[in-house]
Amino acid sequence: MAPEPVSSPPAQRVSFERLRERTDELELLVSGLIMFALFALPDWLIDRYMAAYWLLPLVAIAAANMGVIMAIGLACVLGALFAIHIGIRAYWVGLIGLKSVFPDGIRWERIVGLGPIGHAQWRERIPSIDAAIDAADRAASTLFAVITFGALASLWAALVLSVLFALAAMVGGRLGATNAALALVGQVLLVLLLGTMLLSWLLDAVLARRFPSLQERPLYRRLVAVLRGVSGVLLPNRLLRPVQLTLQSNTRPWLFHLLFLGAMALVPLVGMRYFQSALAFDNASDQRAIDFNRLTGLAHGKYYESTRVPRDRFRPGPLIPAPVESTRWLTLFLPYLPLIDDPLLAANCPDPTGAAATKCLARLWRVRLNGREVPLDGFVPMQRNDLELRGLRGWVSLAGVAPGPQRLLVTWRPAGLAAAHADDWLPPTIEHEIPFLFAPQASE
């Protein structure tokens, strides 16, 4: 019987050598374009987040919180790594240009100012131009692969975490414990991820290697497979393992693991820090004399349309035109914030639509001028495209008010308003104190 012909492996579409020649140029192009996009991404994300925060449902907010923080951290970390990669590639290009001009490299016999000892030491420690080119090329390609691996791992982790936190917010909202559910999910995920990684390493890399008989037990093998599968939820094998194992097996394995875990922890930390600093007034937290968290009765620029800044979009509240009022009617805008208003409307307004919507929204607010109750009967619905908000707008009469400093106190959720679904994230009440100066002589 004639032997069966051995089938030859399929030919490659493009030879590896040709691909390798184009990779270096592509790395420079990709790094340069992505780096500038990454550095511009955090501010854009925060701006969109602040504009939509109070208008989204609770489940979307829970998913967006994790997604935005991870995306910001990933953009900052990857942007810095791409900048380093561009620097290494620029150094590599410079070495190649130097090699093309001076093909002999270092001509040690022409170097002056060195004695025989220094000459010998430098020849031993300083690599040749060819070795430097090879080392720079290897470092740049390895770093680019690490960046790609880290980006894919972080994006996948952000997607999984966003879905899990959204589900936690959905369940927690029905139980009236959204914050508790989110905290529990975060703790369980951390323990589960670290626990499965350490346990699978202990059972497989330590015990199975030391006691070979364990490898033949089906239950033991199944347990290791289950642990590997759980960790594979956050790190998909087909997508990420080829890059991870190639880097790990060609570098120092323990060092790679430490750097990878450190980078994965650095992404949310950097994202959280950047996110908090973008929303906070005092980034260093060293202004202790005037602290809005401890002192009450302090004026805030977010209450005046003339002094608002983009950061104030994240903390919307009642609005008046300016700190100084010169007419007999003070314009007041009360925003409608679905995130915290809808639970109150569902419990206190049987039909919060149509003509009844104005009365329903007015019930959420209490306005007092210098201690005197201000009726909200004349307030009308309004859409503010400049603020990307809807709400009630009305006018507070200043007739009979003496010129000088005034005190406007606006309370959201006055006493007696219960929510349809009592939850730990819904504030019990919010007090807005808005001081202004009534100066009618300014208009005369």
- Strands 389-397 and 380-384, by their bridges, are antiparallel
pLDDT at residue 127 in the model:
83
320 phi, psi to nearest 5 deg: -125, 160
Q: Which residues contact residue 386 at a Cβ distance below 8 angstroms, ignoring those fewer than 6 apart?
A: none
pLDDT at residue 178 in the model:
82
Closest CA to 308 of 375, 362, 386: 386
The number of beta carbons lying within 10 Å of the beta carbon of residue 307 is 13
Using alpha carbons, list the distances in angstroms from residue 429 to 57, 324, 420.
Answer: 20, 27, 15
pLDDT at residue 428 in the model:
86
Q: Give the N- to C-terminal CA distance of the chain in Å, as an integer.
A: 116
268 phi, psi to nearest 5 deg: -70, -30
Residue 103 Cα to chain centre, angstroms: 49
Q: What domains, with CATH codes, occur in the chain?
A: 17-279 (no CATH), 301-443 (2.60.40)
Q: Is residue 369 left, alpha or beta, with left meaning phi > 0 and alpha meaning psi from -120 to 50?
A: beta
Can you tell me the distance from the alpha carbon of 418 to that of 58, in angstroms, rounded to the nearest whole number?
18
- Strands 372-374 and 404-412, by their bridges, are unpaired
pLDDT at residue 6 in the model:
47
- What DSSP assignment string belongs to 31-85? HHHHHHHHHHHHHHHHHHHHHHGGGS-HHHHHHHHHHHHHHHHHHHHHHHHHHHH
From the first residue on, what is the mean pLDDT of each consecutive set of 10 residues in the chain (444 residues)? 48 46 66 81 88 83 86 89 87 86 80 77 82 86 80 82 87 81 84 81 84 85 83 70 76 72 80 83 62 58 87 86 92 92 84 77 93 91 88 93 93 82 77 92 53
pLDDT at residue 421 in the model:
67
Determine the 3-state secondary structure of 330 from DSSP.
Answer: strand
Strand (E) positions, 169-286? none
